[in-house]
Amino acid sequence: MRQLLRYFNRNLLLKVAGFNSIHIVIRIGTGAVMSWVIANFLGTTGMAVMGNFRNFFQGLQSFSVLGMENGLVRYAAQHKSEAAELKSIFSTAWIATLITTLIIGILVFFTATQLDAYLIGLDRSYSFVFRGLAITMPFYVLFTMISTLLQGFEWYKRFVIINIIVNLIVFAASVILITNYLLDGALIAIVVTPVIQCIIAMTIWWRLKKDISLKSLLTGGFSISSFKPLMSYSSMALLSALLIPVTFIAVRQDVRSTLGDVTAGNWEGLQRISGYYMMFVTTLVSLYVLPRLSKDASHQNYRATAFHFYKTILIPVSLGLIAIYLSRDLIVTYLFSEEFTGMLPMFKWQLAGDFVKVVTTVLAFRFIAINDLKRYAIAEVVSLASFYVANYFLIRTYGSEGVVMAHLASYVIYLAVILVMLRKELLTD
């Protein structure tokens, strides 16, 4: 037992995974209850509508911070001991993102009616939630500044603590709002999330790290020399922020029009399940892989970091995916309702695609760490285009399973493209 504990303490990835697992367990628990609430109070149509709104919300978040998150994590890791450089980077990012958020907010506020008609498209108007979203987005910008500092400084415990508290508060608010106001409440819960994130992050930062002034970091003025490298990272993130929501919304709308709201709701329910366990991997990659690759861009470090991640994480991930597949009947029965039994045949394709996604996510972070926009863009466009095209043909051939078959196909293609692009990094020094 002592040897096991010593190994755990020496293995940073396992320590990060341990802290992160606490958050994931809580997220899965609250997500399980939330899935049941949505399924039983909103049904498949409500689930599909929430999927569209959430995709739009996520894209808006990335655009509001100009997709700078990964760049800020990298530069926070590189310059955490250089106060002047750190201040220049974060104050520049703060000014740029605040201006961008205000512009986006105005556009969303005044096009709320049109957005409601396309993304929600129900008998009554939900334009008020888009206007509310326009007002709350600046809070997300400040939250991003704090969270990227925590990740770059490798303050894992604090980052996890913030996410746990935010998750619990958002969960409680969502349950109350949905059970009392149905779809209105569900959409309002998404809208107020940035405010909750911001308040909790500022409180934790103030209590745990008073010797670093957030106000000082964000009030250093605007620097062109700091803005240019950040914008190169923005190009990557903004590409994803545009293509991913647009692709998923287009696919969901195609599923709704071809197979109906029930199938679209079943797929969205499965995406929620996938999101809970995939969050473990994506958060772990952001907390562990990106800072390490940012510090040392050599081929040797890239291979060592990626293979160490696979050796430590892939077996637990594989066992978890198998357990989910074997428990799929119980998951649908207890987390959703009889209306969602149509998702049962979808599980095998979704889980297989997610396993390939885990493998590709670690490899693809090389592009982000070395700021390789060209290869990143090619891989991303090929992946999303293949998903859209495969979905178009497969749902018309295989019905509801077609959309998750397309998910697997797109990530197999993505993996093949990445392996070809990274052959030098993986095979040579």
* Tens of pLDDT, residues 131-149: 999 999 999 999 998 888 8
CB under 8 Å to 253, separation ≥6 — which residues?
52
- Three-state secondary structure of 25-53: HHHHHHHHHHHHHHHHHCHHHHHHHHHHH
Q: How confident is the model at residue 369 (pLDDT cuts 50, 70, 90)?
A: confident
Q: At what angle do helices 224-259 and 401-421 cross, to 10 degrees?
A: 150
- Cα separation, 258 vs 322, in Å, equals 31
| Domains of the chain, residue spans | 2-427
Collapse the DSSP code of 66 into the 3-class scheme (helix H, G, I; strand E, B; otherwise coil) and give the result.
coil
Q: How confident is the model at residue 3 (pLDDT cuts 50, 70, 90)?
A: very low
**Interval 344-372 mean pLDDT:** 91
Query: 46-68 pLDDT, tens per residue?
Result: 999 998 999 999 889 888 888 88
Task: Output the pLDDT for position 365.
Answer: 84
Q: Token match 């809580």: residue?
A: 26
State the average pLDDT for the chain: 87
**Interval 241-255 mean pLDDT:** 92
Residue 8 has pLDDT above 50, yes or no: no
For 99, other C-beta atoms within 10 Å of its C-beta total 12
Q: In terms of Cα–Cα distance, which of 246, 285, 220, 280 is closest to 69?
A: 285
Element housing 263 (H / E): helix 261-284
Are 280 and 20 within 8 A, CB to CB?
Answer: yes
How far apart, in Å, are the Cα atoms of 114 and each of 2, 36, 397, 421? 62, 31, 33, 41
15 compared with 35, residue with greater pLDDT: 35
Task: Output the pLDDT for position 16.
Answer: 58
Angle at 232 between CA 241 and CA 279, to 5 degrees: 40
Residue 80 has pLDDT above 80, yes or no: no
Q: Give me the long-range contacts of 413-419 (CB less than 8 A, separation at least 24).
A: 413/382, 413/383, 413/386, 414/356, 414/360, 414/364, 414/379, 414/382, 414/383, 414/386, 415/356, 415/359, 415/360, 415/363, 417/378, 417/379, 417/382, 417/383, 418/360, 418/363, 418/364, 418/379, 419/363
Q: How confident is the model at residue 159 (pLDDT cuts 50, 70, 90)?
A: confident
**Interval 237-246 mean pLDDT:** 86
34 compared with 408, residue with greater pLDDT: 408
Task: Output the pLDDT for position 1.
Answer: 43
Please name the amino acid found at residue 333: T
CB under 8 Å to 61, separation ≥6 — which residues?
137, 140, 194, 241
Q: In terms of Cα–Cα distance, which of 247, 286, 252 is closest to 267?
A: 252
**Interval 25-49 mean pLDDT:** 89
- Cα separation, 269 vs 332, in Å, equals 9
Task: Output the pLDDT for position 2.
Answer: 45
Please name the amino acid found at residue 93: A
How far apart, in Å, are the Cα atoms of 364 and each of 92, 155, 272? 27, 24, 23
Q: Token match 């690759």: residue?
A: 293
Are 51 and 121 within 8 A, CB to CB?
Answer: no
Angle at 134 between CA 129 and CA 136, to 5 degrees: 90
The number of C-alpha atoms within 13 Å of 248 and in the hemisphere containing its C-beta is: 21
Query: 319-349 pLDDT, tens per residue?
Result: 999 999 999 999 998 888 888 999 999 999 9
Q: How far is CA 271 from the centre of its chain?
A: 12
Are 239 and 377 within 8 A, CB to CB?
Answer: yes
- Cα separation, 55 vs 225, in Å, equals 33
Which range among 60-69, 153-162, 254-263 shows the weakest confidence by mean pLDDT? 153-162
- Cα separation, 312 vs 321, in Å, equals 16
402 compared with 16, residue with greater pLDDT: 402
Task: Output the pLDDT for position 343.
Answer: 94
Question: What's the N-to-C CA distance of the chain in angstroms?
Answer: 38
Question: pTM for the complete prediction?
Answer: 0.79
